[in-house]
């Protein structure tokens, strides 16, 4: 769901793409909070809007061609799975929808930093041109 949404919005300016990421994040916090209460769980695997928000944040600051979207997916998933500080701390210490979504937002910010560095050194362009 996240990659097709990012592809559909890929030609939008950074501020519009970022606005969508912020809106998905806000809706995600509210939805995850309601879902956690309804299901009596925390960060149930059926909740995926947090992943969408984190991925969108990862690819917001770069040109969103197919190579960047693919690399961004890998970068985001790496930080989402490994959960370095503060990702794990947010997941374990924030209540309800805040903890469900903001750990993925933090992973998305880390992924965005990686993406900006890759873009600055020309790695994303080189990958797109190579394949």
The whole-chain average pLDDT of the chain stands at 94
CA nearest neighbour of 6 among 51, 42, 59: 59
Mean pLDDT of 29-55: 92
pTM of the model: 0.93
For residue 81, the SS3 value is: helix
Question: Which run of H or of E encompasses 45?
Answer: none
Q: Is 83 exposed, middle or buried (0-12, 13-18, 19+ CB in 10 A)?
A: middle
Q: Where are the domains of the chain?
A: 2-130
For the segment 73-118, what is each residue's pLDDT rounded down to a tens digit? 999 999 999 999 999 999 999 999 999 999 999 999 999 999 999 9
- Distance in angstroms (rounded) separating the CA atoms of residues 41 and 53: 20
């Amino acid at each position: 769901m996240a990659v097709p949404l990012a592809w559909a919005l890929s030609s939008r300016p950074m501020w519009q793409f970022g606005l969508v990421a912020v809106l998905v994040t806000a809706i995600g916090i509210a939805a995850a909070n309601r879902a956690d209460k309804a299901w009596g769980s925390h960060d149930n695997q059926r909740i995926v809007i947090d992943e969408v928000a984190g991925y969108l944040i990862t690819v917001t600051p770069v040109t969103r061609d197919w190579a960047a979207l693919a690399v961004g997916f890998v970068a985001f998933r790496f930080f989402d799975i490994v959960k370095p500080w503060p990702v794990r701390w947010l997941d374990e210490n924030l209540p309800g929808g805040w903890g469900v979504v903001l750990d993925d937002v933090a992973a998305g910010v880390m992924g965005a930093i990686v993406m900006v560095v890759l873009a600055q050194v020309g790695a994303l362009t080189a990958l797109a041109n190579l394949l």
